[in-house]
Amino acid sequence: MTLIDLRSDTVTQPTPEMRAAMASAPVGDDVFGDDPTVNRLQELAAAKVGKEAGLFVPSGTMGNVIAILVHCGRGEEAILGARAHTVLYEGGGISYLGGVHSRQLNEQPDGSLALDEIEALIRPEDVHQPATRLISVENTHNRCGGTFQSPDYLRALGDFAHAHGLSVHMDGARLFNAAVAQKLEARELTGPVDSVTFCLSKGLCAPVGSVLCGSQAFINRARHIRKHLGGGMRQAGILAAAGIVALESMIERLAEDHTRARTLAEGLSEIPGLRLDGLPPTNMIFFDLDESIRLTVGQIESLMQEHGILVHATGARRFRLVTHYWIDDSAVEQTLQAFRVVLTQGG
């Protein structure tokens, strides 16, 4: 039985078209700048987000740490949301590797950072304090429910940051979900920011990799830091080939994942004992179990697995489900049916 895996969109496997493109990709030594497939991916990525240049990196985590190390020197400060992926799930890499100090503020419910609250955190010129250099914004925002930011907010954020002499980085791991959900091109969201990372390996289904984009001068420095981190790869065109397919043919279809997330959320909201956060803005559904449910999240995970469905708890009474390319309409139906059985009959 093939499992229905709703734990994350990181579980997506490369499509047959990607595997074919990988097998036939022309390659070269990318540390010498010689890999034509990597170069093509980087150009395509930069064009998608309206920046001068791109850099292929092994992971979104590496893309974010490189970006923050380019924007901030040792002992300098980046302002981030307290529930940002960079704060919660990247191993503290910005401080471990770059000596960058993080200053955190709580996100608004929609994942945005309020400009007046940021303003209060910007440090004055003072030897006692780290110098503020950067604001990092996550779009879509994972822990805030897969929420996206509007072009208006991002323009205001960019203008505000630049007026204060700060740069803006966007952790756009799921940037294309944010764009498709608003029926916009990604570059309409990234215009106001100085740098952006997005993942090829999530909803876009490529097996490995992210791209960091920014100005040519920014990417020249980023390439140096990627090398420091051991992220210079050789015949990486094998991987970049899947990334090109991702950018050329997997973006528009993300709308289907959003529609299915909505259908799944509507079905779940009718099951007694489940408290949905609301309808999903993109491809993530979050819900809590109320007191009427006696099962633990661990028991629910095991019982669902017996029905061939993998789900992932993100708290003592909380779940996150993520739709993606490998979740079709029938998988949505089977998941709802399994939840009904597990939660109403205890197995």
Ligand X SMILES: *Cc1c(COP(=O)(O)O)cnc(C)c1O
Selected from 85, 101, 226, 262, the binder of ligand X by CB under 6 A is 85
Beta carbon of residue 246, minimum distance to ligand X (angstroms, whole number): 13
Least distance to ligand X, CB of residue 206, Å: 11
The answer to whether 171 contacts ligand X (rule: CB under 6 A) is: yes
CA 223 vs. chain centroid, Å, equals 21
189 sits near ligand X (criterion: CB under 6 A) = no
Q: Which of 173, 219, 250, 331 binds ligand X (CB under 6 A)?
A: 173
Of 213, 282, 280, 171, the C-alpha closest to 47 is 213
Single out the segment in contact with ligand X by CB under 6 A; choices: 59-67, 154-162, 177-185, 270-278: 59-67
Q: Which is nearer to ligand X, 171 or 301 (CB)?
A: 171
Rounded to a whole number of angstroms, the minimum distance from the CB of residue 23 to ligand X is: 24
Q: Does 107 interact with ligand X (rule: CB under 6 A)?
A: no
Total residues contacting ligand X (rule CB under 6 A)? 12
Residue whose CB is less far from ligand X, 48 or 320: 320
Give the residue carrying structure tokens 């489900």: 321
Among candidates 269, 311, 304, which has minimal Cα distance to 290?
Answer: 269
**What mask, x for binding ligand X by CB under 6 A, covers residues 13 to 52?**
----------------------------------------
**Token pair listed for 180:** 């498709």
Q: Which is nearer to ligand X, 59 or 269 (CB)?
A: 59
| Closest distance of CB 260 from ligand X, Å | 19
Residue 9 contacts ligand X per CB under 6 A = no
Asked if 324 is part of the footprint of ligand X (rule: CB under 6 A), the reply reads no
For residue 226, state whether it binds ligand X (rule: CB under 6 A): no
Q: Closest by alpha carbon to 37, among 19, 15, 54, 22?
A: 22
Residue 112 contacts ligand X per CB under 6 A: no
**Residues 146-173, buried b or exposed e (16+ Cβ, 10 A)?**
bbbbbeebbeebbebbeeeebbbbbbbb
Q: Which of 5, 35, 138, 301 binds ligand X (CB under 6 A)?
A: 138
Retrieve residue 166's tokens: 């700060």
Name 281's Cβ contacts closer than 8 Å, sequence gap at least 6: 140, 145, 146, 147, 148, 181, 258
Determine, following the binding rule CB under 6 A, whether residue 61 of this chain makes contact with ligand X: yes
Give the residue at shortest CB distance from ligand X: 60
Rounded (5°) CA angle 8-13-19: 160
By CB under 6 A, residue 60 contacts ligand X: yes
- Integer Cα distance of 52 and 19 in angstroms: 29
Alpha carbon 308 to chain centroid distance? Answer: 26
Does position 108 interact with ligand X (CB under 6 A)? The reply is no
E-strand spans in the chain? Answer: 4-5, 53-57, 77-81, 101-105, 132-138, 167-171, 195-199, 210-214, 274-276, 284-289, 309-310, 312-315, 318-322
203 binds ligand X (CB under 6 A): no
Q: Does residue 182 interact with ligand X by CB under 6 A? A: no
Find how far residue 40's CA is from the centre of its chain.
22
Q: How far is the CB of 330 from ligand X (least distance, A)?
A: 27
C-beta of 59 vs 299, nearer to ligand X: 59
- Which one of the spans 21-29, 54-62, 147-155, 236-244 is the region binding ligand X (CB under 6 A)? 54-62
Query: CB-hemisphere CA count at 13 Å for 149?
Result: 34
| Residue 196 DSSP SS3 | strand
Residues that bind ligand X (CB under 6 A): 59-61, 64, 85, 138, 142, 171, 173, 199, 201, 210
